[in-house]
Structure 1
């Protein structure tokens, strides 16, 4: 009887989540998306919703195979594991300074751990903001950007920190960031639809992001800085699908084993914390309000978001995760998606996670 009741509760919860996602599409809060919920080895939900306008203005249905511009999820799906791999090989150390690898960087005390934890003191973004068709030396501007707090003392989320980290990976490995991530992380982990710079054919499988002038951006990076960095950046530029990110989450939670990065290093990424930041990940520290990830999740749960409407959230105690991929910017920026994420994650935890 208890087992049957659990099944009924799960079905009821899944129906509530499904209905809510469908309502977001019908109310044009999002054009669509893909949602995966899993706990331990049990897949609770895999569902796609909605459609989008392609670059040629045709309407395309979103499926579980649709590729999404991950935006800032790139920071933890590409740059973080690449950095941990180099750390595990003793090619770099957390205490190594940025200047060790990038002598043109102005601040001698900023180190790799500061970059990972967003505690470098670097400004959040370039000023003036980068526009899509600007001609600017992004790397030069990042290297000369200002520090506004003392390194290691305060978390200030900064794209610039992860751009620098991506460049350090290139300097240390002697390879381009996209090649290193593909060869050393994505392919060994079986994430075969995760990459920078999509081919023309792959671009047609990607959900369009924002409409620029008269044409939707499809399969080309949405982030303006990454675009000017030849579409490859430590901060943004990666494309992936929901199943690849589910594979990614299972490795971080130890649900599925892997031999690329020692698990101790992966655990350190969400346990070595300053304020609400681990090494790359945002971490629920039990006191601060997380505006994106909802209420009720276990202290120490961790994840990240992407500006286009993507997120991944993992609970290391419950061994549960949520992958939510949308192209919310399809209808424009600043449409309150942060609050929508919070409601989705709260609903999922309350209704479906045991």
Structure 2
């Protein structure tokens, strides 16, 4: 199918599915962008940003809490830069970089952290370490492992939290400054770590306590909130327009970032039939797609062979935690991208 026809048809189909979810009361609104690297881009929005934002409608510049898309928008590219310059070795133990780290975590590798095969504790639970006086990175490494490193895939946040603490030690600057430099170099002008000022074009997420204000401009993820909003696994806010631009950087040309994406989408660990984990990214067995989700209601789908992509931004946790709210739309996006 011709790219312009595919883009228009896919935007219409996914837009109708998004409208159905919004009209069904699953969440206040959302926006999606469908495009091809170097080609046309179509953005469709439905509903409201949120009732707190008045009559503001979601559009290409509406900011959403990306949640776990932080892993591939901040931590993963920064790890790639450190690997490319020789400051990190994917297969060297962490103690090669920070000898003072305790065991058993000091024997883990960056590759195991990126592929979610580290065996670190599945529950994040950072609150247990409050007021201990010990660096968080040491706590994470000192906890017992639940499985031998490299033996199985288990999606957890702890590995990327650990990477987010490791990167400043390796690269010599705070994580948010490293990320800001990366995003500005790529032209992503509305991508930032929070907290951010409340704004009608910044989508609120969940009301944690009855009669309390919603989480708005601060990360929905409680562990990222404990870390002041800046973490390796969550905390970044962005918009559909910036995510589409990022997708095009990954899919176009022979830049270092595109090369790192090529390396990272090779299957590394089995997740389920037909699906593997690469370095951070989920990848289909046939190589047709690489993608990642954010718990708050965001997704980024990429098709390397065709250069096509789908960006999805919603505040699907507005009415509480329910992964089913976006399941059908995400499945449709993936099927449309690879079909």
TM-score class, shorter: 0.7 to 0.9
Out of 250, 269, 273, the residue aligned to residue 264 of structure 2 is 269
Q: In structure 2, do the counterparts of structure 1 residues 106 and 62 end up closer, same or farther at CA, with 3 Å as the change threshold?
A: same
Going from structure 1 to structure 2, the CA distance change for 1:249 and 1:136 (only over 3 Å counts) comes to farther
Alpha-carbon contact 2:43-2:59 (below 8 Å) kept: no
Alignment TM-score, normalising by the size of structure 2: 0.87
Residue 175 of structure 1 aligns to a residue whose secondary structure is: coil
> What RMSD in Å do the two structures reach over aligned CA positions?
2.7
Aligned partner of 1:280 in structure 2 is 280
Residue 205 of structure 2, aligned match among 206, 209, 220: 209
Matches within 5 A, 1:1-354: 14-53=11-50, 58=54, 60-102=56-98, 103-107=100-104, 108-127=106-125, 139=137, 141-183=139-181, 185-200=182-197, 203-213=199-209, 214-254=212-252, 257=253, 259=255, 261=256, 263-271=258-266, 273-275=268-270, 276-286=276-286, 299-346=287-334, 348-349=336-337
Superposition TM-score, scaled by structure 1 size: 0.83
Quickly say closer, same or farther: Cα 1:348–1:193, change in 2 above 3 A.
same
Residue aligning to 1:296: none
Contact kept? 2:308, 2:337, Cα under 8 Å: no
For the residue of structure 2 that corresponds to 1:49, the secondary structure is strand
Kindly state the Cα deviation for residue 136 of structure 1 after the two structures are TM-superposed. 6.4
CA 1:253–1:310: 2 relative to 1, 3 Å: same
3-state SS of 2:309 partner: strand
1:344 offset after TM fit, Å?
Answer: 3.0
Q: Deviations over 1:288-310 (max 9, x none)?
A: xxxxxxxxxxx341110000000
What is the DSSP-based 3-state SS (H/G/I as helix, E as strand, rest coil) of the residue aligned with 2:56?
Answer: strand
Kindly indicate whether the alpha-carbon contact (under 8 Å) linking 1:74 and 1:234 is maintained by their aligned counterparts in 2. yes
CA distance in 2, matches of 1:8, 1:174: 47
Moved over 6 A (4+): 6-10
Q: 1:88 to 1:181 in 2, by over 3 A?
A: same
Deviation at 1:176, TM superposition (A): 0.6
Q: 2:242, 2:194 → 1: CA distance?
A: 17
- 1:211–1:136 CA distance, 2 compared to 1 (3 A): farther
- Aligned residues of 1:66 and 1:207 also touching (Cα < 8 A): yes
Relative to structure 1, the CA distance from residue 337 to residue 98 in structure 2 (aligned partners, 3 Å threshold; closer, same or farther) is farther
> Is 140-149 or 108-117 further displaced after alignment?
140-149
Q: Is the 8 A contact 2:289 2:337 kept in 1?
A: no
5+ residue gaps, structure 1, are: 287-298
SS at match of 1:200: coil
Q: How many residues align?
A: 327
Shift of 1:222: 0.6
